[in-house]
Structures are given as C-alpha cells and as structure tokens.
Structure 1
Amino acid sequence: MLRRSADSRPQLALITASFVSRVGNGLFNTAAVLYFTLVVHLPATQVGAGLTIAGLCGLAAGIPAGNLADRYGPRAVWLTALGVQAATMAAFVRIDSWLAFTLVATLDRLAATAAGAAGGALVARVGGERPAAFRARLRTFVNLGVVVGTLGAAVALQINTRPAYTALILANAASFAGAALIALLGVPNYRPLPRPKEHRQWSVLADRPYMTFVALYSAMGLQYQVISLLLPIWLSSHTDAPRWTVAAVYAINSGVCVLLQSRLGSKVETPKQGGRAFRLAGLLFLLSCPLMALTADVPAWVAPALTVLAVSIHSVGEVWESSGGYALGYGLAPDHAQGQYQGFVGIGFDAGQALAPLVLTGAVLALGHIGWLLLGALFAAVGAAGPPVTAWAEHTRLGRQVVELPRLDAEQQGTEHVG
C-alpha cells in the first residue's frame, strides 16, 4: 500500500466525479434495452449478440490501459476513457443498424474497461495510506448515484417516447463529460511511480497468488447476479410471493450497501483482514442461498418476509465480499503497477459476470433447491480459500517489500503536481 497521507480534496473530487458518472449509468442502463428494441427496432436477439460481442472485446483493454496508467499517470488515461465514453454514448442516438450498434457498443466497452483499470490505479493514489477504505467509501456514493439515476429513468420509461429515451442517453453522455471535468479540476495529475528493473508489462500474469485471488474474486462475483437475476426469476416462477417482492429485493440490497459499505469497509484495510472478510462473506452467502430457496416452500404471506431476511443477510455478505476484494486487490498489488493489476482484476470480474447468467440460470435454476444449496456451498468454499491464498501471497511479497519500500518512500516526495 502507498506510504503517503491522503488529501481530502482529491478524494472529494473523485467521489463527486464518480457519483455524477454513475447517475448517468443509472439513467441509461435502466432504459437501454428498451431503447434499442423499441426505438431503434433491433430484435432482442441482435441486441444480446451485440452486447456479448462488445463485452468480450472490451476485456482486451484491461491490462494495456493499466500499463498506460502506470507509465503516464492514471488521471490522463482515466480522463481519456471518460471522453471516449461520452462520445460513444452520444453516438448511440444516431445508430440505425445492428452493425453500427455493435461497433459503438464495442468502443464503449473498451473505454469502460480502460476507465476501470485507470480508475483503480487512481483510487490507489488518491486513497493514500488507506486505498481499500477509500474504495469502500467510494462504492457507497457509486451505489447512491445508480439509485438516483434509476429513479430518474422511471420518468422517461413512463413517457415512453423516442425523445425521452434520447434525453436519457445524452444525459449519460453528459455525465461522463461532467465527471471528466470535475476530475480534471480537482484530482492531482499523479506522476508515475518509479518501476524496478524486473517490472514487465505482463508481470501480473506471472504472479500466481494474485491470479488465484482474481479467480476467487471472479467466482464470488456470481453473488451480484443472484440478487439482480436469479432471485427475481425464482420469485416469479417458483413462489406465490406478490410481484412487489421483486422490487423490494433491489431496494433492500441497495439500501444495505449504501448504509454499511463505508462502516464495514473501514474495518477491512490489510490483505489479512481482506482474507477474513472474504471468508465471512462466503459463510453469509451459505446462509442466504438456502433461505432464498425456501421461499418456494412457504405460504404467499410468508414468502416476502423470508425474502427480506435472505436478501438482508446476502447484502451484508456483499459488503464484506467487496471490502475484502478491495483490500486484497490493492494490498497485494505492487504500488508501481496498480494500473496493470487493477486492469487484470477488471478482466477477471467482467469475465465472471459474462458467465454468470449461464451458470445461474442454466445450472442453479435447473437443479432447483439442490442448485441453491450447491451455490451456497460454492460461495463458502471460495470464501474459505481467502485466508490461505492471502497468506501465500504475502509470503511471496516479503522479499520484495524489504527491497522496494525504502526506495519508494524516499522517492514519494515530488511524485505529483496539480494539473
């Protein structure tokens, strides 16, 4: 972790910029599929195929963008990626064919992946001595921004006209431009950290402990779509719960994360704490998954209460899981290569999210109650691997820290200037 004190002004600027961009995401994501199918008149299958192609192509930008952030500074790469996303969002209002849609979506995903890698490195610099705690705090406002944007999108969905949907897309484009302007004015232009001679542009691929952590983090990431995909389908098709229960799932999950992310995240800063948080998250998921399955076996008036209990437990587990992931993702990455390492984390996580619908709907739903039990057991096993993988990673880093930290501490002075 970086040995420097954090300045509250850059933190506030980055939080504000992230909040603004995520309000735009909430506006766009809520109505995107409806816009492409009802306004552009693309078949749903073509929209799905285009998004899949774009998502897979976007993974390619992670490590290269991270290396650029490490070499030239994370702010420059992040601002560039935000600018590209603003342009691609604006371009969506002009598309009229599947090919144009796929090309624009691919450019957007490449920029989004680059923004994730550079943004992760920027968090490490802005967060100072506590990047994981700052990232947890940042996530609180990111979630809040998405909620605000989603509520705003409801108005356009009710109007249901092309100008209404166009306004949402252009508002999202403006949110990226606004976020870039806020960061340009308020976030320092951090200079690259000195790199040791053994540094390589693909060093992360030779870091077996870190690659193992990313694999665990990606597998645990299935839990996000348990709430957004699996449980709503289960409630609708396997239970007699009233329809409003599905809406309650999203509200409770968002509320718990907003209320607890900073509070619990501040307790998880070191890799060792991150490993323990990962294990605790797995145990909470082991408890929540069977409770979700039981909603199919209780009366209709009990199902909502049981759903609320299960989602509350699961959401607390989500907070611990994300906090543990931040502590391990930043704490185990070398300071001079945060961009490269955060880029690889993004690749792993996005790949896991791409596979999640297939795993959750194709396996868990097909197996029913047994599928839910197996899913909970998977989360518990992945979480249990957190502490030993952490110990393995820290053992491999002891020699490097003894050699590098004195040099980094001596050269930290004068590593930044305000742009």
Structure 2
Amino acid sequence: MIKGSPAGRIARMTGDSGPERVLIAASFVNRVGNGLFNAAAALYFTLIVGLPAAQVGAALTIAGLIGLCAGIPGGHLADRRGARMIMMLALVVQAVSMSALVLVESWAALTAIATVDQIAAAAGGAAWGALVARVGGERPAVFRAKLRTFVNLGVVLGTVGAGLAVAADTRGAYIALILGNAASFALCAVLLLLLPHCPALAAPPRQRRRSAFADRPFLVFTALYGAMGLQYPVVSLLLPIWISQHTEAPRWTVAAVFAANSAFCVLLQTRIGSRIETPGDGGRAFRTAGLLFLVSCPMMALAAHTPVWAAAGLIVVAVFVHSLGEIWESSAGFALGFGLAPDHAQGQYQGLLGLGFSAGQALAPAILTTVVLGLGTVGWLLLAVFFAALGAAGPALARWGIRTRPQTAVAEDATV
C-alpha cells in the first residue's frame, strides 16, 4: 500500500520546504512562458510581422551578444544587494520588454527591445543562480534535480501550447504566445515575493571585487562546461537535419526525438541528479556524461547506414543514451558550479558560468552544421571523442578546485 495522501506526495516531489516549493513553482511558470515564446518567435517575426529571416536572425544575435555582458555585473549586484530583489527587477523588465514585442514593425525596434530583454535575462539568470544556492537547504543536489525536472516539464508544456498557435497560424494566436510569456515573467516576480528575505553575505577581507576572474579552476570549468554544452543542440538541431537528409527513418522520427528527450529528462533527472552533491561527485558525473555521449553520437551516425525498419529504433535508443548524458552533465554543472563558488559570490560566479555556457550555445550551430555535418559520419565520431575528452578532465578539475578552496568551504574527501 502506498503511504501518504496524494497532496503529501506531490508536496514532497516539489520541494522539502516552503521556499523550495516557491522557487520550483516560479521556475515552472517562467519556463512554460519561455516554451510558448521560443518555439514560435521566429515564425511570428517572419510570417506575421514580415521581417526577412536574415534580419530576425541578426537582431536576435546582436541582442544575445550584448546580453552576455550583463551576467557577471548582474550577479555581482545580486551578491551585494540581494538576489531576490535583482531577480524580481529583471523579471519586471522582461515582462515589459516582452509585451513591447507585439508593437514591433521594424528591424531596429526588434533589435532594441530584444537587447533590453537579453540584458535583463542575463542579469536575472545570475541572480537566479544565487537564489538557488541560498534556498537549496541541507540537500541542495536533490532540490536542484527537482528544479530542473520541473523546468523541463514547463518547457514541454509551453512548446505544446506554441504548437497549437502555430497550427492556428493567425496574428492573434502568435500575440497570445508573446503576451503569455510576458505574463509568466510577471507571475514569476509575484511568486518570488513569497520567498523570505535573504540578506547579502559579507565578503572576506581583501577579497577581490571580481574574484571569479581570478579563480583559475572555475575559469577552466566554465570553458569545459561551455564546450560540453554543444550536446544540447545535438538533439534540437543536428539530429533532425541528419534524420531528414541522411537516414531512411520516417519524418515523424524528428518529433519523436524531441518528445523522447524531454520525457527521459523529466522522468530521470531527480533520480540521478539527487545523488550528485559534492564537487567530487560533479567531476565523476562530468566524466560519465562524456562517456555516454561517446556512445550516443556514433549510434546517431549509424542510423544513416541501417535499413529503414531499424533506423527509427536506433535513433530512439541513441536519444535515450544521450538524454542520460544530458542529465549527468547538468547535474555535474550544478555540483561543480555551485560547489566551487564561495557563498558570498554565488551570483558573480553563476554569471561567469552563464557567460561561458551562452558563448558555447552561440557557437554551436555553426560548429555542428559545418564541421559535423560537413564530415558526415566522421564528424559524428570526432564529436563523440571531443565530448569524451572533455568529460575525462572532470575528476582532475574537481580535485584542483577542491584543493584551492578554503578548507572550511569544501568539506569533503578530495579523492575522486
């Protein structure tokens, strides 16, 4: 017999304390809105507003590059003025800028508004990392795993809503998506009012104002994490092109890839991620992720050389293995990203980590579509070896990071 009421089981699944449940709910709401907007934004500006695709791409690229610069200053401000306040301010700015997108009729207006939105997103993302670090409680790995589970679920639900709007293909439907995303920012800000005030933590004497830049182990981890982040567009960008152009798999396999990846991550994130708590755990998890990608990428390549009856099944199995790698990689990012950062500077460190990750995501489409697709099967094999090599550095990086922390900051066995 299953013990406990349904309400009690749901409460345990969504957090061990009130602040944890608030942060999970706020993140879920925000990601539903993101899913609504991100899946259909390009179609709205090209098909409804009538801007050329090249102009839309240029506007979003410019906005993204400028926004990258706001993460570290935003994180430092969150450390000094309070992460909740900075996060709420960023959400309000995003709610206003997102609403203003319905008035866009030119490339200049899109660029200006999108830039404001991306600056707020970068600053808010760093503040969000500091909030997660403060709210995590005694078992931060469990909390972060649950948080990412609901993030994935929110994106899935938002994407489904976006699909309905795309199917309707009317100006009103697309505007509803944009305003829905704006409302998610506003509601997320309101939910954060339920969090208790977390005063800023005092920095140790003689601490450099931007100490993250002087932390060589963390800088190296930022670079490795940004490079390993190329694994995300493998499923969302590279594999769909590979399926359609190089395999005999039916075209519905492309949709199945997205559904399977999301489902696997939602179902397994908490079970796996809750066990990865310390920087040492994170180093080992990073290595495991690389090994899983070493298996999944050749399987995806092999789909181009199998009969049609086997290609679809092989792709689904490859996506399952890749999703396991994604879970281990994200959990490693949590353990190392939060575990190596000093408590008083979590916002600044998360801003630096976000900068490295976003830079990797910006470069990923060009690398994957030119190098990997250009080389075909050989490109997939090189990508697999690249991920495995990055992962292999995880344990040594963790040991280095642990050695260079103050003894009171990382209380764990440095044996990895």
Counterpart check, 1:31 vs 2:37: no
CA distance in 1 between counterparts of 2:185 and 2:176 reads: 14
1:338-375, CA deviations, whole angstroms, 9 ceiling, x for partnerless residues?
00000000000000000000110110000111100000
CA drift of 1:405 comes to: 8.8
Matched, 1:401 2:407: yes
Q: Which residue number corresponds to residue 270 of structure 2?
A: 262
Of 366, 369, 374, 2:374 maps to: 366
Match of residue 288, structure 2, among 280, 303, 315:
280
Report the AA paired with residue 61 of structure 2.
T
Asked if 1:138 is matched to 2:138, the reply is no
* Distance in structure 2 (CA, Å) of the matches to 1:303 and 1:405: 47
Counterpart in the other structure of 1:78: 87
Q: Secondary structure at the match of 1:269?
A: coil
Partner AA of 1:382 in structure 2:
L
Q: Tell me whether 1:149 sits opposite 2:158 in the alignment.
A: yes
Aligned pairs for 1:335-354 within 5 A: 335-354=343-362
Answer yes or no: is 1:231 the counterpart of 2:255: no
Alpha-carbon offset, residue 188 of structure 1: 1.4
Q: What letter corresponds to residue 105 of structure 1 in structure 2?
A: A
| 1:18-417 pair list within 5 angstroms | 18-184=27-193, 186-397=194-405, 400-402=406-408
Residue 33 of structure 2 corresponds to residue 11 of structure 1 = no
Structure 2 portions without partners, runs of 5+: 1-14, 412-416
Q: CA deviation at 1:7?
A: 6.3
Q: What is the one-letter code of the residue matched to 2:407? A: Q
Shift of 1:134: 1.5
Task: Spell out, residue by residue over 1:59-102, the C-alpha distance to the aligned partner (whole angstroms, 9 max, x if none).
Answer: 01111000011001100000011111101110000011000000
Q: Using the alignment, how far apart are the partners of 1:299 and 1:323 within structure 2?
A: 36
Tell me the distance in 2 between the aligned counterparts of 1:7 and 1:28. 31
SS at match of 2:317: helix
Say which SS state the counterpart of residue 382 (structure 2) adopts. helix
Q: CA deviation at 1:133?
A: 2.9
Superposed CA RMSD: 1.3
What are the ranges of 5 or more consecutive residues in structure 1 without an aligned counterpart? 1-5, 407-419
TM norm structure 1: 0.93
Deviation at 1:300, TM superposition (A): 1.1
Q: Distance in 1 between matches of 2:360 and 2:187?
A: 30
Q: Helix, strand or coil for the counterpart of 1:268? A: coil
- 1:177-218, CA deviations, whole angstroms, 9 ceiling, x for partnerless residues? 00110111x211200012111222311111000000111111
Q: Which runs of 4+ in 1 moved over 6 A?
A: none
Size of the aligned set, in residue pairs, is 397
Amino acid at match of 1:178: L
Counterpart Cα distance in 2 of 1:308 and 1:369: 18
Taking the aligned partners of 1:202 and 1:297, their CA distance within structure 2 comes to: 51
